[in-house]
C-alpha cells in the first residue's frame, strides 16, 4: 500500500516535471517557422502601406476636383421642369466661372441671397447692364422679346422694367408658373453664382450634357 502511494507520487511528480518542461521548451519553434512569420508580417505591412497610399493619392486627386472644379447637386422642386426634374443628379462646373462670366441661357446654381446656405437652380435671362421687363408672361431684354423654346409652362404675369447693375443677373426658372426667382427675390449678384450645370448623371435613361440654347430673335 505504501509502495503504491509512492508510485503514484512519483508519477504525479513526473507529470508535473513534464508539463513544466513543455511550457518552456522552444526547441520545436524552428528558424523556418520564424522566417515564415516574418515574411507574412512584411507582406501584411506592405499591403497596409499600399492601401493607405492609394487612399491618400485618391484624396489628393478627388478633393481639389470636388472643392474647386465640379460639385454634385440634386434638384429639388419643379421650378425647372420640363428640363430638370425632382431628384435629378447634376454635375456642376465651377471652374469655368473663374475665367468667364455667366452667359444668357446657361443654367446656374446660386446661393439664395437671404440665406446663403440654400441653393437654387435657375436659368440666366438678363446680363449685367441690360434692362429686363415682363409683359403678359413674355420676357423683353433691352426692349426686345426673348424667344424661349425651353419654356413650356408660361405664366401671364408682369414685371416692371429693371436695369441690372454691373454685377447683377436676372435669373428665372423654366417652369414660370412654379418658380421662385428674380421676379420675387430681385436680381442676383455675381458673387452668389457658384457654377453652371454641366452634366446630368441620374437617372440613367436621361444622362446628358447641356448646350446653350439658341435665341432666334436676340
Annotated catalytic residue, options 8, 20, 38, 122? 122
Listed in sequence order, the residues at least 6 apart from 145 whose beta carbon sits closer than 8 Å to its beta carbon are 138, 139, 217, 218
Instruction: For residues 95 and 195, give the distance between their C-alpha atoms in angstroms, rounded to a whole number.
Output: 8
- Which one from 79, 179, 182, 196 is the annotated catalytic residue? 79
Task: Return the sign of the alpha-carbon dihedral for residues 60, 102, 113, 148.
Answer: negative
Residue 120, beta-bridge partner list: 110
**Maximum Cα interatomic distance, the chain, rounded to a whole number of Å:** 128
122 is catalytic: yes
C-beta of residue 136 within 8 angstroms of C-beta of residue 158: yes
The torsion angles phi and psi of 208, rounded to 5 degrees, stand at: -170, 165
Determine which helix (DSSP H) or strand (DSSP E) holds 209, and give its type and residue range.
strand 208-209
Catalytic residue annotation:
79, 122
Amino acid at each position: 500500500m505504501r509502495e503504491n502511494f509512492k508510485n503514484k507520487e512519483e508519477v504525479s511528480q513526473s507529470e508535473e516535471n513534464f508539463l513544466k518542461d513543455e511550457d518552456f521548451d522552444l526547441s520545436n519553434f524552428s528558424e523556418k517557422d520564424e522566417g515564415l512569420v516574418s515574411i507574412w508580417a512584411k507582406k501584411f505591412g506592405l499591403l497596409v502601406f499600399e492601401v493607405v497610399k492609394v487612399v491618400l493619392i485618391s484624396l489628393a486627386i478627388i478633393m481639389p476636383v470636388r472643392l474647386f472644379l465640379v460639385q454634385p447637386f440634386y434638384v429639388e422642386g419643379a421650378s425647372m421642369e420640363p428640363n430638370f426634374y425632382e431628384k435629378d443628379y447634376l454635375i456642376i462646373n465651377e471652374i469655368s466661372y473663374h475665367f468667364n462670366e455667366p452667359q444668357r441661357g446657361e443654367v446656374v446654381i446660386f446661393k439664395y441671397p437671404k440665406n446663403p446656405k440654400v441653393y437654387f437652380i435657375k436659368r440666366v435671362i438678363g446680363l449685367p447692364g441690360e434692362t429686363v421687363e415682363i409683359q403678359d408672361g413674355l420676357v423683353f431684354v433691352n426692349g426686345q422679346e426673348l424667344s424661349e423654346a425651353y419654356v413650356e409652362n408660361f405664366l401671364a404675369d408682369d414685371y416692371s422694367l429693371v436695369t441690372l447693375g454691373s454685377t447683377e443677373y436676372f435669373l428665372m426658372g423654366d417652369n414660370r408658373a412654379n418658380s421662385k426667382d428674380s421676379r420675387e427675390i430681385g436680381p442676383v449678384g455675381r458673387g452668389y453664382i457658384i457654377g453652371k450645370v454641366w452634366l446630368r448623371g441620374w437617372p440613367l435613361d436621361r444622362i446628358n450634357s447641356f448646350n446653350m440654347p439658341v435665341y432666334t430673335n436676340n
